[in-house]
Amino acid sequence: MKNATGSKTALLIAIAVLIVAGGALAYGLLHRQGANTPTYIMRTGNRTSTLMTASTDYPEISGLSDRKIQDKVNEGIREVAALPAEPDRRSEFQSRATISEMTSRYLSILFDVYEYTAGEAHPNRYGETLTYDLETGNALFLRDFFKPDSDYLSVLSQKTRNDLADQMKIEETNDMLDAGTAPNESNFSRFVLTDKGLLFFFGNYSVASYAAGEFQSLIPYGDLSDILDPEFASRIGTFAPSPLL
C-alpha cells in the first residue's frame, strides 16, 4: 500500500514539474516573439552658416527588447541622416525620412535627399534607403530577401526595365535605361520594403535624363514568389500599408 501511495505521489510530482517547465518554456517563447514593440520619434538637425543651409530629420527607434541592438540601429540611422561637412561654396541640403515599414522584425526607411551647390546647373535629388533586421541589429541588403541560389538580379533587371519603359511611354529601351537597370547590386541598392512589394528608387541620371526626373518601380511580391527567401516571405503578411504607396 505504501509503495502504491509513493508511486502515485512521485507521478503527481513529475506531472507538476512538466507542467511548470512547459509553462515557463511557452511563456519564454511568447515573450521573446512579442518582445520587440518598436516605436519612434522624429529627431531633427539644422545648420546655417554663411555658406550652408542644411536640415535633416530622422527617426529614433525605441521599444526593442535588446538595448544594444536598439543603439546599433539608431547609430546607423544617424550616420545616414548626418549633415554634410561645411562646403567651400554656397550650398543647400535637405534630408527627410519616411518609415516605409516597421514590424517586430523589420525596419525600412527612405531618406529623400535634396542638395544644391552654387555653380551647378541644377539641384540634385535622390533617395537613400536603410533596412534593418530588428532582431539582430544588422543592416539588410537586397540579397538577404532572396533564395541564395536564385538569379534575383536578372529577374529584377527585366521587371524594372519593363516597368520603367511603360512609365516613360517608350516602346523600346535605350542605352541609359539598359545601363541603369543592368543586373548588378549597385543599380538596385536603393529600395525599401512595402506591404505590396519591393520599391526601388532611381535618381536623376540613373535611368533617364535630368529633365525626365526621378523614377520609382514597385515589384510586387507575387511576381517574385518563386525566388523570395521563405522566412522573409512568411513575414510579409505582418506589414502595414506603406505611406510611400
- What is the pLDDT, as a whole number, of residue 232? 98
Q: Above 50 in pLDDT, residue 65?
A: yes
In this predicted model, what pLDDT tens digit does every residue of 107-144 receive, in sequence order?
A: 999 999 999 999 998 999 999 999 999 999 999 999 99
Average pLDDT over the chain, rounded to an integer: 89
- Residue 114 bridge partners (DSSP): 94, 125
Nearest to 148 by CA among 223, 222, 228: 228
* 146 closest CA partner among 185, 91, 95, 101: 185
> Of the candidates 110, 56, 78, 55, which has an alpha carbon nearest to the alpha carbon of residue 243?
110
Over 80: is that where the pLDDT of 205 sits? Answer: yes
pLDDT of residue 5: 52
Q: Among 23-32, 131-140, 229-238, which stretch is predicted with the lowest mean pLDDT? A: 23-32
Give CA torsion, residues 175, 180, 184, 186, to 10 deg.
Answer: 150
Q: Of 35, 33, 26, give the one whose Cα is nearest residue 235.
A: 33
Looking at domain 142-245, its CATH class is alpha beta
Domain ranges of the chain: 34-140, 142-245
- Mean pLDDT for the stretch of residues 18-34: 41
Counting residues of the chain whose pLDDT is more than 90, the rounded percentage is 79
Name the CATH topology of 34-140.
Answer: Heat Shock Protein 90 (3.30.565)
Query: Would you say residue 190 has pLDDT above 50?
Result: yes
Give me the pLDDT at residue 171, please: 86
Burial class (CB in 10 A: 0-12, 13-18, 19+), 154: exposed
